[in-house]
Amino acid sequence: MTTALPLLTQDDSACCGTVAGGALESEQPERIARVFKALGDPTRVKLLSLIGGSETGEMCICDLTDPVGLSQPTVSHHMKQLVEAGLATREQRGKWAYFRVIDGALENAARTLLPQ
């Protein structure tokens, strides 16, 4: 099963992402901060970069532990935060969890914060 919180998706920003002279809607700062907070850690930056840059765009938790040099429970904990922030999806297949980066989620957060 693939799970992802519906944060800052295209539809969402199309519906409610209006920015009036730099004044974000009342609930937006909290949602945007949650996305960035998830990336305020070098290990999670590395994990998202590894998954996003992988050949298939998907990585098994079993292949993420070595590159970051951490145990599987620790990597799982970091990945949970990325999934909860709406930056990645998690799919369980048998014994292993597989992760994908949600396209545009980070870009949308940045664009909502500072539209150019």
Site residues (vs its own copies, CB under 8 A): 19, 21-24, 28-30, 32-34, 36-46, 48-55, 67, 101, 106-107, 110, 113-116
Q: Rounded to the nearest whole angstrom, what is the least distance from the CB of residue 72 to its own copies in the complex?
A: 20
Q: Rounded to the nearest whole angstrom, what is the least distance from the CB of residue 58 to its own copies in the complex?
A: 12
Between the two ends of the chain, the Cα-to-Cα distance in Å is 36
Task: Identify which of residues 42 and 94 has a Cβ nearer to its own copies in the complex.
Answer: 42
Q: What distance lies between CA 15 and its chain's CA centroid?
A: 20
- The rounded distance, in Å, linking the Cα atoms of 55 and 43 is 20
Q: DSSP letters along 71-94, please?
A: -HHHHHHHHHHHHHTTSEEEEEET
Tokens 């099963």 correspond to: 1
Task: Identify which of residues 40 and 94 has a Cβ nearer to its own copies in the complex.
Answer: 40
Q: Rounded to the nearest whole angstrom, what is the least distance from the CB of residue 82 to its own copies in the complex?
A: 12
Task: Identify which of residues 16 and 45 has a Cβ nearer to its own copies in the complex.
Answer: 45
Task: Identify which of residues 97 and 105 has a Cβ nearer to its own copies in the complex.
Answer: 105
Q: Rounded to the nearest whole angstrom, what is the least distance from the CB of residue 95 to its own copies in the complex?
A: 24
Among residues 116, 112, 105, the alpha carbon closest in space to that of 15 is found at 112
